Chains A and B, each alone.
Chain A
């Protein structure tokens, strides 16, 4: 126990004697969480709150154009403009504005679009309601007028934005078509049975949507970018403990203290557990600070505060397991490395790779299937999934024990690998 405490004291002193290093150790992960959450929030806003900038050319001047303008103006997903430089947008001016990056998407509703829809619908209705005694095959097929809505797209626009706009357009066109069909049918029925048709097109809006988030307990946490990003970047920041820990191990090798330590009584487990304990403590302090950023600092900028869910034991278990796994990885990198460059580059690059695979940058469900399978081997993915369970699905300690167990196993595997490597070198 004396030895273990002496190692703890030595590691703490070494950290305290490097105040700038210590400040970086705590400030950098906090800054990372803060900046990344803000960046991701603004990306999220572009689609959901700030809106996609769209310019619309209404050459139709009828129901379809009016319906699309009304619909796009009333959705938060876009910011609609129909006037450029004080004049109604034309095809040429809209295309130019999109090409210059002033708008992400330009939409052109062609002249006579509504008229064409009406004409097509009327032909179809008339055909449907034709006298049953007439041989339908004798009637020549109706010639449909095609309505083509053009879209100009800025090449930098994300596919998801284009899909969202196309989807909204389809919805508005579908609505206007339904109204025209309904009106035409009503007019034709009025001709056959006068005074019997009292319905209005508004009556056909009978299907509604209700969104509800599924959670494992009754506590309701609103999913938002803060709930997604703070845990993700916290795990990323915690894993960066690999760099100073590996550096500390390497320093002992290059400065000769490792040689003396190996000649002293005491085993590898005592020496490494003392070092790991201190870095796990540092990691836990980092975690608390990063959570504080989510709960207290981020709301100061108008973003929602991080909600920690209902299972504090679950959070502590996953944070501790993540800290232990990250420290084990640091021990392995520090043991293998022979120079500062090797240690710093391999440590930081491997974390970036693990985080990319693990879904920190991009959610695994948007990755190709091979990458989705690979993501399950990343310890950052285990930690992230566990935090999502706790922060978004209202899970408890028992729901995340498997992820915690995997992280602890990862620690033992990395430390065992480092130990075997040392033994191999010794022999």
Chain B
């Protein structure tokens, strides 16, 4: 081993940083080189002093006040986060509540609207039906039995299947216009009759209701 090599690794003897073989070679060199032996002695003394210094500061640690300051800082940092978080939670719940209210109101509106539309659909249908039967309150479909219809003068024989039957309320005198004989004494009386009307709208027969028939029979 040369002196330069001893300076490079010889001072690490006893530290575990060099192998035992290198330590042996370094020791052999120091035994033959007074300069390197003096260097090794000097370093050994310095190392002892360094170890005393190291021991003096080995237990050193930051004062407790440092930890206190840091924890204060940590709390100060956390406070705005907590505030933001709380605000966020409140805002989220508020939004959720608002969304729920909107959903409920929308559903309610939809239901109301839907019900109204359904009613609308039914009512026009009824109205249409009523319009197609103009005498819904005054004209009623009479008994389909046309056997009792009295053919009007000049009318062709017509089955009730071929025409429409209307219940008509009229003054008795009006029967005269249809060509039927009428007692003038009760001409102003209101009677109900069934009219058999052909497709072309001309009345083909008449059927008197019981009371009207009785009054006619009495005549």
Chain B binds chain A:
no
B binding-site residues for A, Cβ under 8 Å: none
Residues of A within 8 A of B (CB): none
